[in-house]
């Protein structure tokens, strides 16, 4: 059995931890509101961007001369996967859920005999993936110094992907991130951004009717790179909101568990103290009776 001093120290330590987790929960809650608003505002813009591109692609008469970002290389041999996680921990299963989704896709690609290349955005994803897929990781991008997700960060990732595509380093690019639903639920997503998955997007989106000037080909050549950065930025906003929601939930659970541990340790301390007092009284009474 632990001594009274040891129990006192453990109670004090757990209480200090409880204060930290409670403070982290409050900080995450404050950040979550802003991140959630940004994610919700970004969804209509990225959706509309996809709709415009779908409309433009349907108006192209000569599919052979369509921009490569839209039509692809015509092959499906080399897959580039962009895994977007956080740079900080203590956020429950946020990072693990994205990695689990990505790993299942990786194993499928490898089992089909295709080549896999990975770009990790966020140090936590890189730390987990390098254990099993270290030889497949070609680049690690981190935004530890950035307080909030910005379009410039997304554009940096987008330009890196486009440069690799122009050098014919891959045929298909897919991004992995968490879609924010609520504080408790974040849904891991995979989205193909190169080439644009026109068939699936046509089923999910309503294509509006527009007349464009100049030609569709010229507009698409300028709009497609911007769309890649936009989709990555949307994923970063979703990730930011999901991370804060997961951290808030994890810190709430940690605070509650710390409170339960303090209660149990306090009961154990009181019992040990009562046992020590009873033992002393018995010794005093026994000594008095022996006289």
Cβ–Cβ under 8 Å, residues 172 and 80: yes
What is d(CA 9, CA 77) in angstroms, rounded to the nearest whole number? 60
Backbone φ and ψ of 115, nearest 5°? -90, 140
Name the nearest CA neighbour of 82 among 158, 168, 167: 158
What is d(CA 149, CA 274) in angstroms, rounded to the nearest whole number? 56
Cβ–Cβ under 8 Å, residues 247 and 28: yes
Cβ–Cβ under 8 Å, residues 33 and 244: no
What is d(CA 80, CA 195) in angstroms, rounded to the nearest whole number? 11
H-assigned helices in the chain: 4-58, 68-71, 94-111, 123-133, 151-166, 198-204, 216-290
DSSP state of 191: E
- Among candidate residues 91, 98, 118, 172, the one labeled active-site is 91
Active site residue 173: no
Active-site positions read: 91
């Amino acid at each position: 059995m632990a001594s009274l001093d040891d129990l006192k120290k453990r109670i004090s330590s757990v209480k200090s931890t409880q204060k930290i987790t409670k403070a982290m929960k409050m900080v995450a809650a404050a950040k979550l509101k802003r991140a959630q608003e940004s994610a919700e505002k970004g969804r209509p813009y990225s959706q509309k961007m996809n709709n415009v591109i779908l409309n433009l692609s349907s108006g192209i008469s000569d599919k052979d001369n369509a921009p490569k970002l839209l039509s692809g290389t015509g092959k499906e041999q080399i897959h580039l996967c962009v895994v977007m996680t956080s740079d900080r921990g203590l956020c429950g299963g946020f990072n693990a859920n994205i990695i689990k989704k990505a790993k299942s896709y990786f194993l499928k690609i490898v089992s089909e005999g295709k080549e896999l290349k990975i770009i990790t955005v966020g140090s936590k994803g890189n730390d987990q993936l390098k254990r099993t897929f270290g030889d497949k990781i070609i680049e690690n991008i981190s935004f530890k110094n950035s307080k909030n997700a910005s379009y410039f960060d997304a554009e940096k990732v987008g330009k890196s992907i486009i440069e690799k595509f122009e050098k014919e380093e891959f045929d298909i690019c897919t991004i992995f991130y968490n879609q924010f639903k609520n504080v408790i639920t974040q849904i891991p997503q995979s989205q193909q951004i190169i080439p644009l998955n026109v068939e699936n997007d046509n089923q999910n989106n309503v294509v509006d009717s527009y007349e464009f000037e100049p030609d569709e080909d010229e507009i698409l050549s300028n709009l497609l790179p911007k769309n890649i950065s936009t989709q990555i930025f949307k994923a970063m906003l979703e990730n930011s909101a999901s991370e804060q929601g997961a951290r808030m939930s994890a810190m709430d659970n940690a605070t509650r568990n710390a409170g339960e541990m303090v209660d149990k340790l306090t009961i154990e301390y009181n019992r040990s103290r009562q046992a020590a007092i009873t033992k002393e009284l018995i010794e005093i009474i026994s000594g008095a009776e022996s006289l």
